[in-house]
């Protein structure tokens, strides 16, 4: 996890408007006039004297080594207020050629992996209904379910990651980051465990690294909308929400193609199919089997087409023998164990209580119940169309007994 730097060994304050700001070097509180490092935005100072002193003492090297991510509410890597654990614990980091990244999780409060059937942008009931309506418009009701069954969409097998990438080059060079080309890397010996939860259509290849066989997994694809399971969540401190147009630096939001000037950063939320709902069913079981990640980027010469560069990259990035290029972020196993120790040693309830508190747990459970009710209402909608009998019969005739049984169960609850 990100280490503490304040002189009195206090928690660094989150960069929220309501929290008091403190000088990174001397710890002095200042709510209005703190200046930050323009290149990394991970430190702030009450005056130039503190900035120069900290630069000589530690920040010069820390900035180059990408020790700390930029301060932002969208990626808080240290505990705030009375919290024991950060909202975004860092489980992998790396940098190359002046571009760095930090990797955290953005999944369920109980650490369970997500199913592909669940919309990725699920924050309100309206999001759920909008996604289901879009899927129904793209394919007839029975076909929507058949697509899901073929894609193992009802299995909890998606690892959801939050990834921050920042440009800290000192030559004013822009870089292009290709979010949908991010890849997970593991030992090839773990391939069978990962493949168990994946349909054949998923991209998976191997390569050799120092005589060791390695396996590579790409971002999961949405089989209904035929696009990567990826979102550009934040650009240099500005959240990207709903249907609002992204900033010009986001060249293709669906593929995560983003250009970064020095000092700028992007936060992705992306999903990878790595679970089997059995041996690999939680975030830490998936992360613990990985070696790291590869985040591809390219120095961007003005005039070159970002979409063309992305297409060129896609031509070979999935081929057997291709070694992932870009930033290599290695899994930090001590940090992984530190964060999930309560779950590993004492179980799910102990983890939830220590990380979220009892009141938060109850709120999250109520939210889960609301989501189940939304699923029931969707089932009732299908029932009213008169297609439910045809759908279940079609599933059984296709040999998809498990899916048919699930719909029968949902139908009974919705009755």
Flag the least confident range among 6-10, 142-146, 208-212, 410-414.
Answer: 6-10
Give yes or no for a contact between 254 and 231, defined as CB atoms under 8 angstroms apart. Answer: no
Mean pLDDT of 211-230: 90
Give yes or no for a contact between 348 and 110, defined as CB atoms under 8 angstroms apart. Answer: yes
Radius of gyration of the chain (CA): 23
Flag the least confident range among 8-12, 89-93, 185-189, 405-409.
Answer: 8-12
Q: What is the pLDDT of residue 60?
A: 94
Query: Buried b vs exposed e over 392-405: b needs ≥16 C-beta within 10 Å?
Result: bebbeeeebeebbe
Compute the distance between CA of residue 128 and CA of residue 113 in angstroms, rounded to an integer: 18
356: nearest Cα among 85, 1, 105:
85
Is the model's pLDDT at 105 over the cut of 70? yes
Q: What is the pLDDT of residue 44?
A: 92
Is the model's pLDDT at 400 over the cut of 60? no
159: nearest Cα among 100, 92, 235, 250:
92
Band (8; pLDDT cuts 50, 70, 90): very low
Of the ranges 35-39, 132-136, 275-279, the best mean pLDDT one: 35-39
Is the model's pLDDT at 285 over the cut of 90? yes
Q: What is the pLDDT of residue 229?
A: 95
Is the model's pLDDT at 335 over the cut of 80? yes
Flag the least confident range among 42-46, 79-83, 198-202, 360-364.
Answer: 198-202
Is the model's pLDDT at 254 over the cut of 60? yes
Mean pLDDT of 304-322: 90
Band (151; pLDDT cuts 50, 70, 90): confident
Kindly list the domain boundaries of the chain, sorted by start residue: 1-65, 93-116+151-355, 357-414
Angle, in degrees to the nearest 10, between helices 125-138 and 141-150: 100
Centre a 10 Å sphere on the Cβ of residue 133 and count the other Cβ atoms it contains.
Answer: 12
Q: Give the list of residues 6+ apart from residue 26 with CB closer than 8 angstroms, or none.
A: 7, 46, 50
Compute the distance between CA of residue 364 and CA of residue 348 in angstroms, rounded to an integer: 14
Give yes or no for a contact between 239 and 74, defined as CB atoms under 8 angstroms apart. Answer: yes
Mean pLDDT of 122-149: 71
For 179-189, write each residue's pLDDT tens digit. Answer: 999 999 998 87
Helix (H, G, I), strand (E, B) or coil at 32: coil
Q: Give the list of residues 6+ apart from residue 397 with CB closer than 8 angstroms, or none.
A: none
Is the model's pLDDT at 17 over the cut of 60? no
State the Cα torsion 229-232-233-239 to the nearest 10°: -150
Helix (H) / strand (E) containing 259: strand 257-260
């Amino acid at each position: 996890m990100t280490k503490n730097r304040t002189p009195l060994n206090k928690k660094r304050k989150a960069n929220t408007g309501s929290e008091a700001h403190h000088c990174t070097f001397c710890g002095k509180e200042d709510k209005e006039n703190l200046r930050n490092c323009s290149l990394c935005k991970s430190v702030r100072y009450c005056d130039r004297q503190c900035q120069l002193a900290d630069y000589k003492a530690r920040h010069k090297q820390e900035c180059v080594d990408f020790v700390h991510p930029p301060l932002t509410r969208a990626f808080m890597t240290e505990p705030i207020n009375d919290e024991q654990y950060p909202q975004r614990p860092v489980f992998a980091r790396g940098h190359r050629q002046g571009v760095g990244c930090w990797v955290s999780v953005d999944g369920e409060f109980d650490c369970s992996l997500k199913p592909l059937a669940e919309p990725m942008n699920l924050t309100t009931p309206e999001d759920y209904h909008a996604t289901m309506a879009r899927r129904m418009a793209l394919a007839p009701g029975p076909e929507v379910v058949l697509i899901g069954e073929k894609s193992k969409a009802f299995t909890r097998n998606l690892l959801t990651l939050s990834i921050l990438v920042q440009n800290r080059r000192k030559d004013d060079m822009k870089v292009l980051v290709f979010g949908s080309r991010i890849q997970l890397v593991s030992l090839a010996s773990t391939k069978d465990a990962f493949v168990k939860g994946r349909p054949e259509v998923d991209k998976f290849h191997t390569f050799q690294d120092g005589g060791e066989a390695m396996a590579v997994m790409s971002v999961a694809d949405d089989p209904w909308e035929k696009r990567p399971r990826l979102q550009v969540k934040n650009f240099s401190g500005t959240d990207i929400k709903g249907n609002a147009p992204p900033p010009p630096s986001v060249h293709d939001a669906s593929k995560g193609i983003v250009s970064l000037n020095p000092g700028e950063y992007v936060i992705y939320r992306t999903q990878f199919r790595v679970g089997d709902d059995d041996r690999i069913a939680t975030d830490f079981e998936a992360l613990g089997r990985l070696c790291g990640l590869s985040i591809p980027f390219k120095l961007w010469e003005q005039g070159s087409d970002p979409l063309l560069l992305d297409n060129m990259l896609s031509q070979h990035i999935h081929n057997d023998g291709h070694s992932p290029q870009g930033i290599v972020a290695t899994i930090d196993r001590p940090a992984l164990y530190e964060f999930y120790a309560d779950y590993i040693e004492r179980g799910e309830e102990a983890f939830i209580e220590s990380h979220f508190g009892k009141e938060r747990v109850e709120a999250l459970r109520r939210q889960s119940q609301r989501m189940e009710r939304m699923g029931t209402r969707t089932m009732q909608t299908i029932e009213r169309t008169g297609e439910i009998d045809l759908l279940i019969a079609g599933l059984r005739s296709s040999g998809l007994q498990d899916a048919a049984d699930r719909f029968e169960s949902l139908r009974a609850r919705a009755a």
